[in-house]
Structure 1
Amino acid sequence: MSTNVPNPAKTGTASSLWGLAILPVLLLGAVLAYLVATGGGLKGLSGLPVEQLNIGRITLPERGVITMQVVNDSPQTMTIPQVMVDDAFWNFTADPPGPIPRLGSTTITIPYPWVEGEAHSITLLSTLGATFTATIPVATLTPQLSGSLFARFGLVGLYVGLVPVLLGMLWYPWMRRLSGRAMNFILSLTVGLLVYLAIGTWLDAQEFAVGLPAFWQGTPAITLIAVLTVGVLLAISGKRNADEQPLGLSYRIATGIGLHNLGEGLAIGAAFAMGEGALGTFLILGFTLHNITEGIGIVAPLVKRNPGLKQFFLLALIAGGPAILGTWIGGFAFNPVLSTVFLAIGLGAIVQVVWEVGQLVVRNTARLGLPVAGWSNFGGFTAGVALMYFTAFMVKF
């Protein structure tokens, strides 16, 4: 009969190992405590504290009322004792009231008789005299959630996302009749489309990140999330069945495009929420024209096999459906943090798909006995970028 008796030598070795691992952490904690307590010996040179305030979304929920979300981006607590609207001091309430802790937020409500269609300027003053200004470019009631408006915003997302993607996928029967060389041209065109979408998604994420408090570190956060997304997708791609690759690749293309279209929906919903109806209409027209080319990229890997109508509909739903969700969020509950995160994930997904489609182009080119950097592949890539660039003229006016 044998019993498992702990080896004292091994136990002692494990304890020593953990002790060596924890010792630097304990010493670092002591150093940080000293710096906090003494200011590193430079407290006398610190001067006045720097105050920073991030002004988030401004809404006009009803006539004569302005609300705004603010976040204390300073290294210390700060207080907002006064508010000016159009260069006049005005009463206000804060929820929660009192000083705003570091990284804390509050909602400021101002009873002010704003005028429909006019611009208004709001300035917040801190106890140290710092001023933080925001502008309402066009005053109009912020859309409130209702069944009718919810349905109308959903239809806008449908027109922008799902409909053009489905129309683009109607080129599938024609694509199946193309020669191998012509099909490689289409795949290279798909790479061009996706590269353009990756650049656009990066710029859209940067635009949303500008509105974030500084502690979110917008650009590094976008880069990190995108890189992690690429890594996760590459790790998953190594375990897939080769027989499922074409359909799986189409689904990943649709997912990346869908996250990009989420950003388009956010832009449209936010434009209507801010009262910029003309801009919202131009965005609808521009994105609808722009997105029809996305259907080509989604079905390009499937020309050698027909997965069935159900799969085509699911692919279109994944690619175009997020535009509906984005329009709802942008119009009723815009959140720059979530918007930035989703677009960063979309950027990573698109980059990973560019890698996969690029590999497919290389394999097909080798099978045809053509050079990878030949005119056919280069022409397809250029055509894809050009299609996205020129159809974006309706959006970037």
Structure 2
Amino acid sequence: MAPGSGPAVASPALAAPRSVPWRTAGWLALPLVVLAAILALLILGRPLERLTEGAPPVETISVERVRLEPGLITLSVRADGSQPVRIAQVQVDGAYRSFAIDPPGPIGRLGTARLTIPYPWVDGESHRIVLVTSTGVTFEHAIEVARATPPWDVPTLALLAVVGVLLGVAPVATGLLAYPGLATLNASGTRFVLAVTVGLLGFLFLDTLSEGLEQAAGTLDRLRAQAAVWVTMLISAGALTMIGRRGGRAPEGAALAAFIAFGIGLHNLGEGLAVGAAIAAGEAALATFLVIGFTIHNVSEGFGIAAPLVGHRPRFVTFVGLAALAGLPAVPGVWIGAQAVSPFWMALCFGIGAGAILQVILEVLALIARRDGPRALSAPSSLGGIGAGLAVMYLTALFV
């Protein structure tokens, strides 16, 4: 400061403007108000309807669930269209049949309804159903092999629960038995095991995501189910990352193993759905084949859950909890799959599962980088472990 000069005064042009809370909120809300006005004009005013006057309505019907009981076929359908869709007639094997619809009347856009059709279907045979709307548009659905849907009684649920335990809990617990051997490894061996876990989870991530996209392909286009799979995957991965790091530290040891078990549990829920669907279709041989294949497959998952515990001293109850967290979701999966469920909700479940697995992959990679430095991610033991994990999961998946 020059001699004799007074204190520096900030230029009014450079001074930060004082914010007024209500004024700030008003400017932030203004775009939302304008957007609401535009949407109201389009939805309530319907200015585009004049351009489509006289055009036939667009109609789409998707059969999301089929339930078979003696002498009765029940369909759960979802409709979409420029106008509500009314189902006027139902054909079964070329003959018109009486039916009841609940709720009665036309089905609104993306609405659902349940059709009850009295029909003496034949066990083991195929049946062709045609839904005819009031405008004469037809939608066909085929029952490839007719089998009675398993009832929701205690003996059936208990038997299906045993299948779920054999599918999920038993093989994961078997894989956890490798922990004493893993605990004797040196630093390089531990890094290799963690990298194998990344490979295992990487295969599960791709498999779960592809299952979700496949289920989404069987839904109405208007639901944007495939995009919903990606969205739920990203949201679940982000949410679990925030939960895992809520204390300002990344999960390690038993906490990281729990996240791995949780992600694998969501994947095993999907495997249970597949087995239950095979049971509902009466494919006993296919269901048995799936259980055997998934059992072999899931042993390696227990191996991956045990890897973050190396260097720690977990109690026996920790292993019990991890086996239950990773394996028990297969039980409700079998229950739900045996009763059939909407492919849209199945797709969202797979999306959530893929997100959980992605979060764990990132956390295990971060653990390797923290322990041995970022360069360890490109070390031969890391790359070799990832490749080995992918190869193991691929080879065991061939049994499914």
Deviations 1:78-99 (A, max 9, x none): 2111111112222222222332
User: 2 CA distance for matches of 1:82 and 1:321?
Assistant: 43
Q: Could you tell me which of 186, 189, 205 is aligned with 1:179?
A: 186
In structure 2, the CA distance between the partners of 1:313 and 1:12, relative to structure 1 (3 Å rule), is closer
Query: What amino acid maps onto 2:147 in structure 1?
Result: T
Aligned to 1:60: 68
User: 1 CA distance for matches of 2:315 and 2:118?
Assistant: 58
User: What does 1:337-376 correspond to in 2, within 5 Å?
Assistant: 337-366=344-373, 371-376=376-381
Q: Could you tell me which of 21, 24, 48 is aligned with 2:34?
A: 24
Q: Could you tell me which of 87, 95, 101 is aligned with 2:94?
A: 87
In structure 2, the CA distance between the partners of 1:233 and 1:66, relative to structure 1 (3 Å rule), is same
Matched, 1:140 2:147: yes
Matched, 1:315 2:322: yes
Residue 203 (structure 1) shift: 1.3
Partner SS for 1:328: helix
Deviations 1:131-189 (A, max 9, x none): 11111111111111111111100000000000000000000001111222112111110
Aligned to 1:4: none
Partner SS for 1:372: helix
Aligned to 2:392: 387
Matched, 1:39 2:44: no
User: 2 CA distance for matches of 1:69 and 1:201?
Assistant: 25
- Given that 2:65 and 2:340 are in contact with CA atoms closer than 8 Å, whether structure 1 keeps it comes out as no
- Given that 2:62 and 2:79 are in contact with CA atoms closer than 8 Å, whether structure 1 keeps it comes out as yes
Residue 300 (structure 1) shift: 0.2
- Given that 1:73 and 1:214 are in contact with CA atoms closer than 8 Å, whether structure 2 keeps it comes out as no
Partner SS for 2:398: helix
Aligned to 1:229: 236
Partner SS for 1:52: strand
Matched, 1:257 2:264: yes
Residue 113 (structure 1) shift: 1.5
In structure 2, the CA distance between the partners of 1:303 and 1:127, relative to structure 1 (3 Å rule), is same
- Structure 1 unaligned segments of length 5 or more: list them: 1-8
Residue 206 (structure 1) shift: 1.7
After superposing the two structures, state which structure 1 stretch, 27-36 or 322-331, moved more.
27-36
- Structure 2 unaligned segments of length 5 or more: list them: 1-18
User: 1 CA distance for matches of 2:266 and 2:363?
Assistant: 18
Deviations 1:331-383 (A, max 9, x none): 1353434332222111111111101111222334439xx75323221211111
Aligned to 1:72: 79
Q: Could you tell me which of 47, 57, 62 is aligned with 1:49?
A: 57
- Given that 2:80 and 2:108 are in contact with CA atoms closer than 8 Å, whether structure 1 keeps it comes out as no
Aligned to 1:216: 223
- Given that 2:240 and 2:356 are in contact with CA atoms closer than 8 Å, whether structure 1 keeps it comes out as yes
Query: What amino acid maps onto 2:391 in structure 1?
Result: A
Partner SS for 1:345: helix
Matched, 1:111 2:118: yes
After superposing the two structures, state which structure 1 stretch, 381-390 or 228-237, moved more.
228-237
Q: Could you tell me which of 370, 378, 381 is aligned with 2:383?
A: 378
Aligned to 2:14: none
Aligned length: 382
User: 1 CA distance for matches of 2:169 and 2:181?
Assistant: 21
- Given that 1:80 and 1:125 are in contact with CA atoms closer than 8 Å, whether structure 2 keeps it comes out as yes
User: 2 CA distance for matches of 1:259 and 1:70?
Assistant: 27
User: 2 CA distance for matches of 1:244 and 1:30?
Assistant: 47
User: 2 CA distance for matches of 1:249 and 1:15?
Assistant: 41
Query: What amino acid maps onto 1:302 in structure 2?
Result: L
- Given that 2:252 and 2:367 are in contact with CA atoms closer than 8 Å, whether structure 1 keeps it comes out as no
Query: What amino acid maps onto 2:38 in structure 1?
Result: L
In structure 2, the CA distance between the partners of 1:282 and 1:26, relative to structure 1 (3 Å rule), is closer
Aligned to 2:273: 266
After superposing the two structures, state which structure 1 stretch, 122-131 or 386-395, moved more.
122-131
After superposing the two structures, state which structure 1 stretch, 178-187 or 151-160, moved more.
178-187
TM-score, normalised by the number of residues in structure 1: 0.89
Supply the RMSD in Å over aligned alpha carbons.
2.4
Residue 16 (structure 1) shift: 6.0
In structure 2, the CA distance between the partners of 1:208 and 1:20, relative to structure 1 (3 Å rule), is closer
After superposing the two structures, state which structure 1 stretch, 253-262 or 124-133, moved more.
124-133
Query: What amino acid maps onto 2:100 in structure 1?
Result: T
User: 1 CA distance for matches of 2:43 and 2:125?
Assistant: 52
User: 1 CA distance for matches of 2:120 and 2:60?
Assistant: 28
- Given that 1:85 and 1:120 are in contact with CA atoms closer than 8 Å, whether structure 2 keeps it comes out as yes
Identity level (%): 40
- Given that 1:59 and 1:142 are in contact with CA atoms closer than 8 Å, whether structure 2 keeps it comes out as yes
